[in-house]
Amino acid sequence: VADSQIDDRHDPNQELMAQGIANVVAPLFGGFAATGAIARTATNIRTGGRTPVAGILHALVLLAIVLALAPLASHIPLATLSAIVVMVSINMGEWHAFAPKELARYSVQYRTILLGTFLVTVIFDLTLAVELGMVLASLFFIYRMSDLTRIERIPLEEHYGIEALSRADGTPRILAYRMFGSLFFGAANKLENLLLMQHGHPDVVILDMDKVINIDTTGLDILQTLQRNLHKRGASLILSGLNSQPGSLVFRSGFLDQLGDDNVTSNITEALIRAQRIGGSEPEVAYT
């Protein structure tokens, strides 16, 4: 919050170490563990503070008041202190962000996070609001990533012709799909059409994963299930274009041993050559 107000970036590791040491030492002198307070930080920023010196001076002034002026400070009316806190809160807020025109510029997900975090901050406390904001942001991110993930059938007939890819009864011998996005637990259902084999029961299924940036264990399990289902029918699965993270997971999990080294290719052209060889013929046209 403070960084956004001064257009700068603090060192979180340095702050963590400093607060940790302070919380270890403070109890030795009768103090108690505490963290930074956004109210005092925002007040410092509003009055021109930009460096750690502002925080040090603030602490020294409070120490002087506690040691020398505590009896006098006890006579300050609570209403006065409350008014000061209210004014600090008002000055801290960037209220223009709640204007209807401003909110209308952003997505429903952003508005939900903003308003939810704001309400929880007012009703409960900042710590709970930050936790809620992180949870909501994570859920919306998962939803967005799963929505972006898609799988499309590659029209091989346009390059090879129906006769080269089909059996005598017209059912396909080779099917190829291209996947985009991330194959993770939130998008695993996108492979259901492959598990159901809505386009028949081919001899070879090619899954081009050149556009897949990430796979988690759930996605890997879906691929293994697909491979087992094809193997039971005497068919083969070929993976092509695996990027670094998906390729590393496939290798470390032992899935590569189940597929076979020849059934993992660097691009779709090599995958098609491999598929034709499984079928006992050579490709006539290179796919691009």
Q: What is the rounded distance in angstroms from the CA atom of residue 197 to the CA atom of residue 193?
A: 6
Instruction: Quickly list H helices, the chain.
Output: 2-6, 12-25, 38-46, 52-68, 70-73, 78-92, 100-104, 108-123, 126-148, 157-160, 162-165, 192-196, 217-232, 244-252, 255-259, 268-278
Residue 223 has a pLDDT of 92
Residue 285 has a pLDDT of 46
User: Contact, 264 vs 238, CB < 8 A?
Assistant: yes
User: Contact, 246 vs 266, CB < 8 A?
Assistant: no
Residue 173 has a pLDDT of 80
Residue 26 has a pLDDT of 87
Q: What is the rounded distance in angstroms from the CA atom of residue 66 to the CA atom of residue 84?
A: 18
Angle at 258 between CA 165 and CA 254, to 5 degrees: 135
User: Contact, 259 vs 237, CB < 8 A?
Assistant: yes
Q: What is the rounded distance in angstroms from the CA atom of residue 24 to the CA atom of residue 21?
A: 5
User: Contact, 145 vs 216, CB < 8 A?
Assistant: no
- Boundaries of every domain in the chain: 1-77, 94-148, 150-278
Question: Identity (one letter) of the amino acid at 101?
Answer: K
Angle at 174 between CA 170 and CA 175, to 5 degrees: 100
Residue 266 has a pLDDT of 92
Q: What are the pLDDT digits (tens) for 149-176?
A: 888 888 876 555 555 566 656 567 888 8
114 or 188, greater pLDDT: 114
Residue 153 has a pLDDT of 86
Residue 186 has a pLDDT of 83
In 3D space, the residue among 213, 215, 264, 214 whose CA is nearest the CA of residue 236 turns out to be 264
Q: What is the rounded distance in angstroms from the CA atom of residue 137 to the CA atom of residue 132?
A: 8
Residue 170 has a pLDDT of 58
Kindly state the greatest CA–CA separation across the chain: 99
Three-state secondary structure call for residue 233: coil
Residue 252 has a pLDDT of 93
DSSP category for residue 220: H
What HEC string does 16-37 produce? HHHHHHHHHHHHHHCCCCCCCC
Average pLDDT, the chain: 83
Q: What are the pLDDT digits (tens) for 28-76?
A: 888 887 777 777 777 777 778 888 888 888 889 888 888 888 888 788 8
Quick count: other Cβ atoms within 10 Å of Cβ 55?
Answer: 14
Q: What is the rounded distance in angstroms from the CA atom of residue 76 to the CA atom of residue 51?
A: 30
116 or 158, greater pLDDT: 116
At residue 115 the predicted structure's pLDDT band, cuts being 50, 70 and 90, is very high
Residue 69 has a pLDDT of 84
Q: What is the rounded distance in angstroms from the CA atom of residue 265 to the CA atom of residue 282?
A: 16
Q: Is the dihedral of CA 53, 54, 57, 63 positive or negative?
A: negative
Residue 45 has a pLDDT of 79
At residue 264 the predicted structure's pLDDT band, cuts being 50, 70 and 90, is very high
Q: What are the pLDDT digits (tens) for 120-143?
A: 988 998 889 999 999 999 999 998
Domain at 150-278, CATH from 3.30.1310.10, 3.30.750.24, 2.40.10.340, 3.40.50.300? 3.30.750.24
Tell whether the model's pLDDT for residue 195 goes beyond 80: no
Residue 80 has a pLDDT of 92
At residue 113 the predicted structure's pLDDT band, cuts being 50, 70 and 90, is very high
| Burial (0-12, 13-18, 19+ Cβ within 10 Å), 137 | middle
For residue 130, give both structure tokens.
């930050």
